[in-house]
Amino acid sequence: MIPRTVFSEEHEQFRDTVRKFLEKEAAPFHSQWEKDGQVDRALWTKAGEMGFLCPQAPEAYGGLEVDFGYNAIIDEEIARAGLTGIGWGLHSDIAVPYIVNYGSEEQKQKYLPKCISGEIVTAIAMTEPGAGSDLQGVRTTAIKKDDHYLLNGSKTFITNGQHADLVIVVAKTNPEAGAAGTSLLLVEADSPGFKKGTNLEKIGMKAQDTSELFFDDVKVPADNLLGAEGQGFIYLMQELPQERLSVALGAIANAEAALGWTLNYVRERKAFGRAIAGFQNTQFKLAELDAELTAMRVFTDRCLELHYERKLDVATAAKAKLLTTDFQCKLLDECVQLHGGFGYMWEYPIARSWADARVQRIYAGTNEIMKLIISRELLKE
């Protein structure tokens, strides 16, 4: 693998701390959390104490105010170890940045310190049973009445849904105005009328809590509007490149780890009197995967550099998400094949990663939607 130049020595020291923390505090318990359908809530506050939550957040609210490379390292280490139940990426890279970037001073003071300490777990609720890719079809409404919005509707597939204390809800404040009538609201989980559905049973990422959410005449204080009314779609478009970069970085880190597990396995495993690493098919498969992985790594690192410079555009982030997640799934499938029957056994990390990775092509915008974004940019007059 060619050397990476996107991380400084400080970044790498931080990586070491994150890796050791995960080895001690998460890896030994992850199988149990998969059975429980969620991680231990205490992991969040332990992470907060270590400075692993929202590292980019301003110092004024208790954050480290460091660059996105620190988030990237946390995402990579979680993905490398296959600890997919840990929802810090959704919290630190996706949800909390909305508060940092569009929140009022009052909202920042009220919520950010607790998001950083892990006392508050966040979620973002865009998807509904009837609207996923087509977010303009969102039917949840938030109608202004005096000093509050009356929130009605339901959401589904919401990551951190069970643990969430604070949810950023995408709702129509002006249902007649389409995208221009969409706003973001900060909804506290103990608000009367807000109910969490059951923890959804998934084919992978089993330790990640994912839920339906229901809003029945929830009174959301007008002060909990995030940013300006009707700007929700614009905010979403501005924040999505970072979400897609996180997914891409995780995809490559996990693919790299999976290739490593497979190299070890093919050296050990014998068939027809020799290690399966000795078959030309094995060698060629691994060589192809490694070559593609190298190219993907260079491209995603370049995207990370662009993001440091605030120059990562929507189409480039879409390319990164599309290419890396398709590749991650392809690599994992080839690696399961090289593991034979053991590759299908849950106790093997390769089997878990294979199941966990499938959703990478679906969430954060499906890979078909990534193609739409890229082609729209290509065909722009």
Ligand X SMILES: Cc1cc2nc3c(=O)[nH]c(=O)nc-3n(C[C@H](O)[C@H](O)[C@H](O)COP(=O)(O)OP(=O)(O)OC[C@H]3O[C@@H](n4cnc5c(N)ncnc54)[C@H](O)[C@@H]3O)c2cc1C
Name the residues annotated as catalytic: 243
> Which residue from 56, 159, 262, 324 is in contact with ligand X, where contact means CB under 6 A?
159
Conformation bin of residue 122: beta by default, left when phi > 0, alpha when psi is -120 to 50: beta
The alpha-carbon radius of gyration of the chain (Å, integer) is: 21
Least distance to ligand X, CB of residue 243, Å: 10
Least distance to ligand X, CB of residue 341, Å: 27
Please identify, using beta-carbon distances, which residue of 33 and 157 lies nearer to ligand X.
157
The residue nearest ligand X at its CB is: 132
Mark the segment that binds ligand X (CB under 6 A) among 123-131, 189-197, 256-264, 312-320.
123-131
- Residue in the structure block whose two tokens are 């970085």: 249
| Angstrom distance (rounded) from CA 307 to CA 146 | 41
- Note whether 362 binds ligand X by CB under 6 A: yes
> Which residue from 47, 124, 240, 312 is in contact with ligand X, where contact means CB under 6 A?
124
Mark the segment that binds ligand X (CB under 6 A) among 127-135, 231-239, 310-318, 323-331.
127-135
- Note whether 158 binds ligand X by CB under 6 A: yes
DSSP string, 131-157: BSS-GGG---EEEEETTEEEEEEEEEE
Mark the segment that binds ligand X (CB under 6 A) among 21-29, 61-69, 270-278, 367-375.
367-375
Contact, 259 vs 289, CB < 8 A?
Answer: yes
Start-to-end C-alpha separation, the chain: 39
Strands annotated E in the chain: 122-125, 141-145, 148-159, 166-172, 182-188, 194-199, 210-221, 225-226, 270-271, 274-275
- Note whether 125 binds ligand X by CB under 6 A: yes
Mark the segment that binds ligand X (CB under 6 A) among 17-25, 96-104, 120-128, 275-283.
120-128
- Note whether 374 binds ligand X by CB under 6 A: no
Q: What angle do CA 112, 163, 200 make, to 5 degrees?
A: 140
Q: Which residues bind ligand X (CB under 6 A)?
A: 90, 123-127, 132-133, 157-159, 202, 205, 210, 359, 362-363, 365-366, 368-369, 372
